[in-house]
Amino acid sequence: MKEGKVEKYAEYRSPKNWAIFALRMGLGWIFLWSGGRFLWESLSGGGSTTSGFLQFATFGPFAEFFQGLAGNPLVDTLFVWGLFLAGLGLVLGAMTRVAAAGGAALMLVIYLSAWPPEHNPVVDDHIIYVISSVLLMFLGAGRFLGVDGWIERRGFVKRRPKLRAVLG
């Protein structure tokens, strides 16, 4: 009995788990805060949340494509809800792989809309967000202090191991 208790709490002593948790929470909060702010603006009748950026801040070889998306209600909806749900999923550690993939996709799109970066020929903060999101996808970041870990320990997921592909 004592041996099982030691194993149970070993994950809380792991610096790696705490580092992954900190990355998940930090990145999740960035996405959640931005998405929540845009969501609040759109729900309170603030107009298009993406048109200003898409019209005036895009440049590079893909600028014309992104400028053509400005003011599109579907683009606004997908961006705002995608950012909000990616952040919420990461903060809660719920469907972490899906949330991280969504966040990575959104950040890659933003990166491409203003490519190449102004201050560095290759890397900017959006690429760091993409790399961090992909890292969280493969590290099972939602298993430690996340909803995914709790769900995975339930019999439902144990009987359906394919569900682990979206959890963790």
Residue 3 to residue 92: CA distance in whole angstroms: 30
Q: Look at phi and psi of residue 115 and say left if phi exceeds 0, alpha if psi is from -120 to 50, else beta.
A: beta
3-class secondary structure, 59: strand
Residue 70 to residue 92: CA distance in whole angstroms: 31
* Tens digit of pLDDT at every position of the chain (168 positions): 455 565 667 788 889 999 999 999 999 999 999 999 988 988 888 777 888 888 888 888 988 999 888 888 898 889 999 999 999 999 999 999 999 999 999 999 999 988 887 888 888 899 999 999 999 999 999 999 999 989 888 888 888 888 888 787
Long-range contacts of 62-70 (CB under 8 A, 24+ apart): 62/112, 62/113, 62/115, 63/113, 66/112, 66/113
Residue 25 to residue 92: CA distance in whole angstroms: 8
What integer pLDDT is reported at residue 27 of this predicted model? 98
3-class secondary structure, 50: coil
- Six token digits for residue 90: 């990461």
Enter the pTM of the model. Answer: 0.87
CB atoms under 10 Å from CB of 117, counted, come to 15
Residue 2 to residue 72: CA distance in whole angstroms: 60
Residue 9 to residue 154: CA distance in whole angstroms: 18
Q: Look at phi and psi of residue 144 and say left if phi exceeds 0, alpha if psi is from -120 to 50, else beta.
A: beta
What integer pLDDT is reported at residue 17 of this predicted model? 93
